A and B are shown apart, each in its own frame.
Chain A
Amino acid sequence: MRNVSRVSRKTAEDNGKKQVCFFLLTVTVFLSLPCFSGMEAPAGYRAVSVIWNVLTAVFSYLCFFGIFRERTVSFLCSALYLFSVYRISVLYIWGDLTKAGLMAALPLVLYLLIRLYREEILGKAGYAAVFFLTCALWYALESAGRLIFHDVPDICFQEKGLYPAQLALHFWTVGVYEAEYGKEVYKAVPMGAGFLLIFGLVLFFCLWYGGAFRGAELEFCAKTAAVLSMLLLLMSLNSFPWDYLQRAGGRFDRLISGLESPACFLSWGTLLTVFLCGFLLRFFQEKSRDLYLAGIFIVIIGIMTSGGYLLDYIVGSQETPYQYRMEEGGFEEEG
C-alpha cells in the first residue's frame, strides 16, 4: 500500500494543485493533521489515503459482519469492497479524496438500512422506498456538495458514461499513463464494477429467477439491493438517457451536472453488488459446502487478479511527484 499512495497525472496536471491545496489546507482535518505534525504535503496526502483505506477496511468489515454475522463472508466482502475497481480508481487515479472518504462511510449506511429491515418497523414497500430514497438522497447531497465547492462546467453528462463492456472488465491492463480519458473502452482509464461483482449480480438474478432464495434470511433486502444495483449500473452507462433528463431543464440539469460523471453511481453500485456477493456466499454456505468453497476460491482469485492487478499497474505506471514545500507551487515529476 506504501507505493500506491500517489497523486495521479490528472491531479498533478489539471486540478491537482487545487485539490491538494483545497484538501490539505482548508477542509479536511485529517489532511491538515499530518501537515501540522511536520510532514510534507505529498506525505500528508499519502497518510490520508492510508487512513481512508484503513477506515474502509474496518468499517466495511464491521458492517458486513453486522449484516451477515459470519467472519469469513464478512472478511471477503470487506476485501471485495476495499479492492473494488471503482474505489481504487477514485482514490489513486482520480485522486478524489472526498469521494474515497465518503465511500469509506457508505457501508455504515448500508448497515443502518439492513438494521432497519431487521427491526421490522416498516412494511416491505416502505422499506424498499427508504432504501431507494437513501440512495437518491446520497447522490443529491453529493451533487449539491460539488455544486457548492466547485465550478461545474456545462458538459454533456451522458457522454462521460461507460459502455456495458467497461462495467465487466476485470484485468485493467492499460497503465494509467497509457490510459485515455476518451469515451471508448479502447485504452480506457480503469473504471467499472469489475467482472466478479457483475458475475455475482448475474448469478443472483439467475437464482432469483429460479426461485432459489425463498425463505432465505435477508431475502427481501437482497432483492431490493439487486434491483437497485442493477438500476445504478444502468445509470452509469452512456446509453442511459441522461441527455434527455438534462434537457428537461430546471434545477434537475444542475443537479445532474453536479454529479460530474455517470460513473459516480458505481459507488453505491459497487457496495450493493458486494453485499449481493456476500449474500450469495452465505446462501451457498447454508446450502452446499462445495459451492461455498468454490465461491471463496473464486472471490480470492478474483480479488487478486482484479484489484491486486490494478494496484500493481498503478504502481508501475504512475509518475512520482515530489513536492517538498507547498510554497514552491507545482510538482516536480520523475518520469
Chain B
Amino acid sequence: MKKRVSRHILIFIELICLLLLLPGCFRKEEKVYSLSGAEMALQTVAAEESLQFYGADAISLSPGVYQIRVNSGAKGQESAYVEILPGESGYDRLRGNGVLVFPGQEYTDFEVYAVGNVRDAHLFCEFYDMMPDRLTSVEIYRINRGGRMALFVLFMLFLAVDGLLIFRREILAGRVLKEQQAVFWTLVFSVLLACLPYLTGYFSLGADTAFHWLRIEGLKESLLNRNTLPVRVQSYWMYGHGYAVSSFYGDFFLLIPAGLRLIGFSLMTSYKAFVFLVMAGTAAIAYFSFYQCVKDRYAALFGAVLYVLAPYRIYNFYNRGAVGEYLAMTFFPLICCGLYLLYTEDCKTAAYKTYKWYLIWGLTAIIQSHVLSTEITAFFILALCLVLWRKTLRRETLAQLLEAAGTALVLNCWFWLPMLYMMGCDRYFLQSIISGHIQDMGTWFSGIFQLTPNKGGHQTGMENYEAIQIGAGALLMILVYLGMVFWAKKKPVRKAEKILLGFVFLSVFMSTKYFPWDFIAGVPGLGYLATSIQFPTRLMAPASVFCAMFGVFFFLYLKEPEKDFREGSASMGKESREMLKKGCLCVLLVITAGSALYQVNDIALRSKPTYLYTAENMGTQSVVNGEYLLEGVDKDAYRYHGPVLEEGLKSCHYEKNGTEIVMQVENTTDKIRYLELPLTGYKGYGLEAEAGGKEDGEVPAITDERGAHGDIRIAVPAYYTGKIRVFYQGFPLFHIAEAVSAAGFAGVLLWHLRKRVVRKINFSAQKWGVKGRKGNHDDDREP
C-alpha cells in the first residue's frame, strides 16, 4: 500500500513537471537582436580587397534555441558567412555553426543552441566580394524549440525511470527470471559498447554520412512544407531545386531522426539518437528472432551478441555511415527466423501459417531501408529455396512463401512501383553507374582472416584495411565447430548448421575479388542486377547474420550431451568436458566483445571530430555520385536563383514553398516565351494556371525539353497574363499504388485484430469451460 502511494506520488510529480514545461512549447518567438546591412557597413573592417569583416558588440543570450534570420541581396559572385561566436561566456555554452549566404539566396535561417547564460555572444560576418549593405538584415529570434526539447527529454527520462522501477519491482517480485535479467543487461551492454564512439560531444563523418544527413534534413523540410505525402522529391537538395532521393531510397525509418529535428534537436543529436535506437532495435530483433527459432535464451543471446558486435555492422555505422545498409541489417534476423520456421516446423499445425509474417515484416522493413540489401536478401532466399527444393515444393511451404512474397509486394507497392516507373520513364546517373565492373572492389583473401578490426581507410587492399570481415570471434567459432565435427564426431550435425555454414562460406566468397563478378556482369539480365550492388563487400552483411545464427546452433551443439558418452570411457571426465565447453563459450564471448571493443576504440581514437549543430552549414549538394540526378546534368551548375525569364516575360508575386511555386506571369509578346523555374525537371510535376491567354483556354504548360541544369521549363503562350502554380504531383499510377498498399495494410490490420478477438473469445471460453474456436491456441510463435 505504501509503495503504491509512493508510485502515485512519483507519477504525480512527473506530470506536474511535464505540465510546467508545456507552456514553453507554445511560447511565441521573440526578437532579441536586429541589425541592418547599412549599420554593419559602418563598422566593417576590410582585410583584403575582396574580404571584409564585421564583428558586432556583445549580445546576451539566455538558455534556449535561437534562430538567426539573414535577408540578403547577394548576386553574382557575392557571398557572406554569418556566425554567432560564443565569446568568453563559459565552456561549450553556445553551440552552433556559421552559414554561408549564397548569391541568389534571398533568405536563410539557422539555429544556435545556448545551453547556459551567454553574456558575450558576438555576431560575426565575413563578406566575400560583397558590400556589407547587400545583406539586408540579420535578426536573432528566441524560438520555442528549447521548450519542446526540454519537454521531450524529460518525458523520455521519466519513461526510462518508470520503466526501470517497474522492471525492478518485477525482479524483486520474482516474476523476471535470472536468465531474462542476464539477457536484458547483456543486450544493453552490447548496445552501449557498440555506441561507444558516439559518447562524445561531436561526431565523425563516415563516407556517406553527409548524404544521409541531407536525406534527414530534406525529409524534415518536406514535412514542414507539406508538399506531398509520401515524399517523392525532397526540395531541400541542390540549392532548393530538389532531388528525387525519396523515390529511390526508402525514407520510412528516417522519419525518426526527421521527427527529432522537427522537435528541435540538432542534426547531430538526432542522428546519434537514431543510431542508438537502431543498435537497440538490432539487439532486440536479433534476440527475439533467434529465440523464436530455438527457444533457448542463452543460445539466442549468444547469437544476438555476435550480430550486434559484428565488425562489418559496426563498420557500416562508423566508417561508411551507410544508413540504408545498417538499417537493412537490423531486419535480416527476421528473415532468417521466418525461413527457419517455415522449413523446420511441422507444416500441418495451425501455427505454421503465422510464420510467414516474420518474412513479410522483415522484407517490408528491408525494402523500406535499402533496395540493394533487398536484392541480396532475395538472392539468398532463392538460394535457400533451391537448396531445400523438396521442402520448398511442399504445397504448404510453397503457399506460405508465395503468400509472404505477395503480401510484402502489396504492402510496399507504394514504394517500389513508383520507383520502377520513375526509372523507366527517365534516365538518371544511377543507370550509368550500375554498368561498371565491380570485381576489383571485392576483398582480398587475407581480408577474410583479418583478426583485428582497425578503423582503416581503404575498402580494398592490405594496407590500412577496413574492418570488412566476419570477425575473430566468428572465425574461431567456425574453426572450433569444424574441429569438433570432423575429429570428435560425438554428436549429430543439424541440417541448419550445414546450410548456415555453407551460406557463410558462400557469402564470404562472394565478397572477395575472386568471385567472378565480371563474368556475371556479362550475363544478360543477371549482370545488371548483380553489378547494381556496387561493392561485393556488401555480401559481408548476410555473412554476419549467417555467422550469428550459426552461433546460435553452435551454442546448442556445445550444450547437447555427446551421444556415446559413458562415464570413465573418455580420457576426460564429464565435469571437465562441461568446463571445457563453458570455457570455450567464455573465450568466444571475450574475443567477440574484445574485438568489438578494439574496433570502437580504434574508431574513437582515429576519427576526426566534426561539430555540426546547424544543418544549413553542410550545404545541399552531398549527393555522393548523384545517382538520382537526371542524366547529363552538371551538378556543379546548380545555384540559388529565382525564375529565369525569356525576353518579353514579366513575373511578380513569386513564392517558392518546397516543390511548389506560385507566381504571376505575363507574356508581353505575340510569341510563346519560355520560363525556367528552380525545380529539377523530374517527370511528375504538374501545372495549374489561370486562363489568361490571347485565345480562350490557352494556358502555360511544362515542356518536355528542360532548361539549364535540368530545370523545369514552362512555355507561356502569347499575351498570357495570369497566376500559375507548379507543383510535384506524381502520376496516377503512384496514387493507385498508394491505395493498394493502404488497402493491404488495412487488410493486415483487420486480420490481426480478428485473430486477437478470436483468441480472446477462446480464452474466455476456456476460462468458463466452454469449447472455443479451433486452431488458434497453439501459435505462440506468432510475431
- B597 close to chain A: CB less than 8 A: yes
Q: Which of B604-612, B637-645, B699-707 contacts A (4 or more CB under 8 A)?
A: B604-612
Alpha-carbon distance between A142 and B602 when the two chains are bound, in angstroms: 34
- B201 close to chain A: CB less than 8 A: yes
Chain A positions 176 through 191: 1 when the CB is less than 8 Å from some CB of chain B, otherwise 0: 0000000011111000
Q: List 12 A-B contacts (CB under 8 A).
A: A158-B90, A158-B91, A159-B91, A163-B201, A171-B601, A172-B605, A174-B606, A186-B605, A186-B606, A202-B189, A290-B582, A301-B594
Contact residues of A between 155 and 201, Cβ < 8 Å to B: 156, 158-159, 163-166, 168-174, 184-188, 195, 199
Q: Are A188 and B196 in contact (CB under 8 A)?
A: no
Residues of B within 8 A of A231 (CB): none
- B382 close to chain A: CB less than 8 A: no
Tell me how far the C-beta of A275 lies from the nearest C-beta in chain B, rounded to whole angstroms. 21
Contact partner of B601 (CB less than 8 A), chosen from A173, A242, A298, is A173
- A141 close to chain B: CB less than 8 A: no
Alpha-carbon distance between A301 and B590 when the two chains are bound, in angstroms: 9
Alpha-carbon distance between A185 and B200 when the two chains are bound, in angstroms: 8
- A36 close to chain B: CB less than 8 A: no
- A312 close to chain B: CB less than 8 A: no
- A244 close to chain B: CB less than 8 A: yes
Alpha-carbon distance between A195 and B597 when the two chains are bound, in angstroms: 9
With both beta carbons as reference points, the residue of chain A lying nearest to B186 in the complex is identified as A206
Most chain B Cβ neighbours within 10 Å, of A165, A171, A174, A305: A165
Extra A-B contacts (5), CB below 8 Å, given A163-B199, A174-B605: A174-B606, A210-B168, A242-B91, A244-B116, A247-B90
- A54 close to chain B: CB less than 8 A: no
Tell me how far the C-beta of A287 lies from the nearest C-beta in chain B, rounded to whole angstroms. 11
Residues of B within 8 A of A173 (CB): 601-602, 605-606
- Number of cross-chain contacts by CB at 8 Å: 95
Say yes or no: A165-B200 contact (C-beta < 8 A), given A188-B605, A290-B582.
yes
Chain B positions 475 through 490: 1 when the CB is less than 8 Å from some CB of chain A, otherwise 0: 0000000000000000
Q: Are B196 and A156 in contact (CB under 8 A)?
A: no
With both beta carbons as reference points, the residue of chain B lying nearest to A186 in the complex is identified as B609
Residues of B within 8 A of A187 (CB): 605-606
Q: Are A209 and B168 in contact (CB under 8 A)?
A: yes
Chain B positions 144 through 186: 1 when the CB is less than 8 Å from some CB of chain A, otherwise 0: 0000000000000000000010001001100000000100010
Contact partner of A165 (CB less than 8 A), chosen from B92, B93, B197, B582, is B197
- A40 close to chain B: CB less than 8 A: no
- B202 close to chain A: CB less than 8 A: yes
Residues of A within 8 A of B201 (CB): 163, 238-239
Say yes or no: A170-B590 contact (C-beta < 8 A), given A156-B91, A186-B607, A209-B168.
no
Chain B positions 354 through 388: 1 when the CB is less than 8 Å from some CB of chain A, otherwise 0: 00000000000000000000000000000000000
If over half of B's interface residues share one DSSP class (helix, strand or loop), that class is named, otherwise mixed; here it is helix
Tell me how far the C-beta of B183 lies from the nearest C-beta in chain A, rounded to whole angstroms. 12
With both beta carbons as reference points, the residue of chain A lying nearest to B602 in the complex is identified as A173
Q: Are A243 and B590 in contact (CB under 8 A)?
A: no
Tell me how far the C-beta of B371 lies from the nearest C-beta in chain A, rounded to whole angstroms. 33
Which residues of A are in contact with B by a Cβ distance under 8 Å? 156, 158-159, 163-166, 168-174, 184-188, 195, 199, 202, 206, 209-211, 238-239, 242-244, 247, 290, 293-294, 297-298, 301, 305
Say yes or no: A171-B602 contact (C-beta < 8 A), given A301-B590, A301-B594.
yes
Tell me how far the C-beta of A160 lies from the nearest C-beta in chain B, rounded to whole angstroms. 9
- B598 close to chain A: CB less than 8 A: yes
Contact partner of B200 (CB less than 8 A), chosen from A156, A170, A184, A210, is A184
Say yes or no: A206-B185 contact (C-beta < 8 A), given A171-B601, A243-B90, A294-B586.
yes
Residues of A within 8 A of B606 (CB): 173-174, 186-187
Alpha-carbon distance between A130 and B583 when the two chains are bound, in angstroms: 42
9 A-B pairs with least C-beta separation: A165-B199, A164-B199, A163-B200, A158-B91, A184-B609, A243-B90, A243-B91, A206-B185, A171-B601
Residues of B within 8 A of A290 (CB): 582
Q: Are B597 and A171 in contact (CB under 8 A)?
A: yes
With both beta carbons as reference points, the residue of chain B lying nearest to A156 in the complex is identified as B91
With both beta carbons as reference points, the residue of chain A lying nearest to B609 in the complex is identified as A184
Residues of B within 8 A of A294 (CB): 582, 586
Q: Are B594 and A305 in contact (CB under 8 A)?
A: yes
Most chain A Cβ neighbours within 10 Å, of B172, B197, B200, B607: B200
Alpha-carbon distance between A170 and B181 when the two chains are bound, in angstroms: 26
Tell me how far the C-beta of A32 lies from the nearest C-beta in chain B, rounded to whole angstroms. 39
Alpha-carbon distance between A172 and B605 when the two chains are bound, in angstroms: 8
Alpha-carbon distance between A174 and B181 when the two chains are bound, in angstroms: 37
Residues of A within 8 A of B607 (CB): 186
Residues of B within 8 A of A163 (CB): 199-201
With both beta carbons as reference points, the residue of chain B lying nearest to A179 in the complex is identified as B605
Alpha-carbon distance between A159 and B201 when the two chains are bound, in angstroms: 12
Contact residues of B between 212 and 234, Cβ < 8 Å to A: none
Say yes or no: A169-B91 contact (C-beta < 8 A), given A206-B185, A209-B168, A210-B171.
no
Q: Are A184 and B202 in contact (CB under 8 A)?
A: yes
Q: Are B196 and A298 in contact (CB under 8 A)?
A: no
Alpha-carbon distance between A290 and B200 when the two chains are bound, in angstroms: 36
Q: Are A210 and B181 in contact (CB under 8 A)?
A: yes
Alpha-carbon distance between A159 and B86 when the two chains are bound, in angstroms: 14
With both beta carbons as reference points, the residue of chain B lying nearest to A159 in the complex is identified as B91
With both beta carbons as reference points, the residue of chain A lying nearest to B578 in the complex is identified as A290
Q: Are B608 and A238 in contact (CB under 8 A)?
A: no
Most chain A Cβ neighbours within 10 Å, of B92, B164, B168, B607: B92
Tell me how far the C-beta of A241 lies from the nearest C-beta in chain B, rounded to whole angstroms. 8
Alpha-carbon distance between A171 and B594 when the two chains are bound, in angstroms: 10
Tell me how far the C-beta of A85 lies from the nearest C-beta in chain B, rounded to whole angstroms. 12
With both beta carbons as reference points, the residue of chain A lying nearest to B192 in the complex is identified as A202
Residues of A within 8 A of B90 (CB): 156, 158, 243-244, 247
Tell me how far the C-beta of B97 lies from the nearest C-beta in chain A, rounded to whole angstroms. 16
